[in-house]
Amino acid sequence: MEPRDYGPFPYTPINDRPKLNWPNGARLAVWIIPNIEFFPLTRGIPGSPYTSQAPVPSVRAWAQRDYGNRVGIWRIMDVLQKYGVRASPTLNSDICDHHPQIVKAAVELGWEILGHNETNSLWLNQMEPEEERQSIARTLSKIAALSGKKPRGWLGAGLAETWHTLDYLAEEGVQYVADWVSDDQPFFMDIGGGKRLVSIPYSYEINDSPFLYTRNGTIDQFVVAIKRQFDTLYAEGAQSGRVMAICLHPYLIGVPHRIAGLDEAIGYIAAHDGVWFATGSEIVNAWLNSGATF
């Protein structure tokens, strides 16, 4: 993608598009995205979002995140199984080396795994171009080797990209990207050379990391935010379909005093008619089949 002042897509206001019809007349497509991440102990992790200083080893901050993989993710799996919901986890491929049990369990649950860098400690915009290309390729191939399926979707660690990222993803056969949190419906991204990717709605608002970690929100406030986000999108979806993303981190939502909040929020959404819990690829495929042009 060439540098440009606006994104690699036209500005198309949401009230100036054809009606989006989801399968079975659903108003709202809801996808749930656990971010399953690995942080090497050999790299520093700041203990607060307001500082960049980090000792090595960062035992307290590292152990908090390790809790998510040892305990929290399994609680998330239990809650989603309760409602028959298949998630779309974004996966650091180093998880395949250190916690293959998580990957195997996700496959058994029918979850759709997206690529999410090799490790969460090294973002794409911290790499030189060829290093980035090789890192993306390694991420996708390692996930494919363990899960049996090469990811069709991608979320960059930190939602970070470079001017080269979309080209490299397209070269690897990635179909959709979640980094661009700028819409409530999918849209095409034209990256040049006749290549297009789909942007799928992700969220930096209904996301436990900024909400609970950066902004110091409570789990009760997060549940209220999820419900209110749902209510608005559900109402708008009566006119044209919408997408709602619920973005989770096992070390945050998966602790004992918060997990019941996730159960409450998913139960609230599931109690409504016209809700389609879907994976990322299912949403993208339905959007493409609807005759998407923008």
Q: Is the pTM of this model over 0.95?
A: yes
Are the CB atoms for 184 and 243 separated by under 8 Å? Answer: yes
Dump pLDDT digits (tens) for 242-285.
999 999 999 999 999 999 999 999 999 999 999 999 999 999 99
Residue 227 CA to residue 242 CA, distance in Å, equals 15
Residue 48 pLDDT: 81
Would you tell me how many other CB atoms lie within 10 Å of the CB of residue 235?
Answer: 12
- DSSP 8-state secondary structure symbol assigned to residue 43: S
Average pLDDT over residues 48-66: 90
Domains of the chain as residue ranges with CATH: 29-289 (3.20.20.370)
CA dihedral 147, 152, 110, 258 (to 10 degrees): 100
Would you tell me how many other CB atoms lie within 10 Å of the CB of residue 128?
Answer: 10
Q: Using CA of residue 140, residue 143, residue 149, residue 152, what is the dihedral sign?
A: negative
* Mean residue pLDDT across the chain: 96
Residue 294 pLDDT: 67
Average pLDDT over residues 53-80: 96
Residue 263 CA to residue 246 CA, distance in Å, equals 13
Phi, psi of 142 (to 5 degrees): -70, -40
